[in-house]
Copies of this chain bind each other. A is one copy, B any other.
Amino acid sequence: MKKHTHSDRPQLPELTDRLRGKSRRITGQREAILGVLRHHPHPMSSKEVQRSLGSEDCDLATIYRSLHLLENIGMVKRFDLGDGIARYELMGTDDDGHHHHLICRRCAEVVEIDDCFPRELEEEIARRNGYSGVTHRLEFFGLCPRCR
């Protein structure tokens, strides 16, 4: 079992703080969804979140709406693993959540990768093309040890 390398996961009180004052409410559903994400170190789709909710089950539409909200206030980050399904990961309290994944083509196991595209090269690409505010989306695909 891989120990992920991110900073500590935010506690629920943080949700409270981030929502209050934005005319947003702290609902049972939102706490439950956050709770699920806190216990999963990997990107989860809306359906996976729902399955993990157990007794706290709530409507899929609510999960979609909650994940969008959490993404907007920067508590979760959206990842696109290339299969047309949006997945979300809880952000750490201090880092910016920027990291990548290595996904098994066969069993879809996900490993977090902290290596990143060289910053200088990215800046050079931006400069060469006159672009500003350049970021990147990067994911790796391969065969995991067990699926070889």
Which A residues contact B (CB, under 8 angstroms)? 80, 82, 84, 102, 104-105, 111, 113, 115, 117-118, 121-122, 124-126, 129-145, 148
Known: A115-B125, A126-B140. 19 other contacts (CB 8 A): A80-B80, A80-B82, A102-B131, A102-B134, A105-B133, A111-B131, A115-B121, A118-B118, A125-B140, A131-B143, A133-B143, A134-B140, A135-B140, A136-B138, A136-B139, A136-B140, A137-B137, A137-B139, A137-B141
Closest to A138 in B: B138
In Å, the complex CA distance between A113 and B131 comes to: 13
5 residue pairs, one from A and one from B, having the closest CB atoms: A134-B142, A131-B142, A130-B145, A138-B138, A136-B140
